[in-house]
Structure 1
């Protein structure tokens, strides 16, 4: 109940009571908090596939190029780069989380046995409305016939409904790139923009299953 004081004639004072409106009560009630914890990856891999296809001969021919491209991948598509890319979209809505979900970016976990196999929570959060999105692969490929592409793998774990363990929804996306790797320092901004566009396109490809 709310009270309202009124001054009446003769300096009398009357207190009136009336019920709190349903809308006010709804506003006062604590809304459930939903969290999406996002784990970027520190991985960066490169694979150049020539006329001999994947195998020992190809590895021997392209080993130096694969190493240098992988090093640049780890730098160019770093955890910070992934976080900045996700911040340009509604990443929570993309995986079916409700409006108002708080997105929390976590420190990458290097151990793949943890990121790809553990079905319990990776954080110490105890919120009932809780989920995790994990990036598990950044792979650059160059093939003689199909050209260059960026491939990413993702895992979504939904713990809503009081689950202590949950299934891992694994998937991937792969899209072509044209500016990576850069030939000169001046080409790096275009190469970085190319990687970001492909990374977000790969995530969109993966997350379509949650928006059906």
Structure 2
């Protein structure tokens, strides 16, 4: 803009000194103004585009896991495993169905999952296909998606475990990992943790009991995540 002012001043002086060239000078001034306006507009668009790209990305990976452990009078061990083998298998199968990846995504969508792990306002949440290999989800410190966004993080669900104990009753336990790549780092800072809360209606005794059991499971899942995410507050 300073160069434009200098140019306009020179053009005006030339027009006064040489009236013959006044028309040409005016034309040059008009072109200079149009060029300057275009440059300012282009710069404004670039700034707006950069601002639009500024929000961070949080990529969420649900899990396909579903485990069950029933403990009787004998506690953990071979005898307990033999006695409760059928219950463990059936409960685990129902866990995988009831707390499926879709179920986990719907639960996360009911809360501000990005804010829960300390991500800024405007963060885009991207739900990814589950990765079954625990060595990848729990140990790999590099990105699990193709995104190259500088402000980027991942939230991974690594365990869905149902337990029934003689003294403590029924509970759902979940494990989570938050991988923070913000600042453009290649290997994430990993925050691992868990949550465990009681169940009242899971597993269901009849088909009619399933809605209450599913609601019970979802409530415990979100409570477990809330317990885990307290470290980010």
Q: Give the TM-score range, shorter chain.
A: 0.7 to 0.9
Q: 1:98 aligns with which of 111, 115, 120?
A: 120
Which has the larger share of helix?
A: 2
Q: How does 1:57-72 map to 2 (within 5 A)?
A: 57-72=79-94
Answer yes or no: is 1:167 the counterpart of 2:189.
yes
Answer yes or no: is 1:187 the counterpart of 2:170.
no
Shift of 1:162: 1.1
Shift of 1:27: 7.6
How many residues align? The count is: 195
Q: How does 1:25-174 map to 2 (within 5 A)?
A: 28=48, 30-31=50-51, 32-174=54-196
Matches of 1:112 and 1:101 in 2, distance apart? Answer: 27
Matches of 2:92 and 2:196 in 1, distance apart? Answer: 17
**SS at 2:106 equivalent:** helix
Matches of 1:209 and 1:33 in 2, distance apart? Answer: 22
RMSD over equivalenced CA pairs, Å:
2.0
Structure 1: segments with no counterpart, 5+ residues: 2-14
**SS at 2:158 equivalent:** strand
Which has the larger share of strand?
A: 1
Shift of 1:30: 2.2
Matches of 1:118 and 1:27 in 2, distance apart? Answer: 36
Matches of 2:230 and 2:173 in 1, distance apart? Answer: 16
Matches of 1:56 and 1:63 in 2, distance apart? Answer: 10
1:109-144 Cα distance to aligned partner (Å, 9 max, x none): 000000000000000100000000000000000000
Answer yes or no: is 1:207 the counterpart of 2:229.
yes
Shift of 1:205: 0.2
Matches of 1:30 and 1:97 in 2, distance apart? Answer: 19
Partner residue in 1 for 2:5: none
**SS at 1:175 equivalent:** strand
1:164-201 Cα distance to aligned partner (Å, 9 max, x none): 00122110000001000000001000000000000000
Structure 2: segments with no counterpart, 5+ residues: 2-29
Shift of 1:26: 10
Q: How does 1:10-29 map to 2 (within 5 A)?
A: 28=48
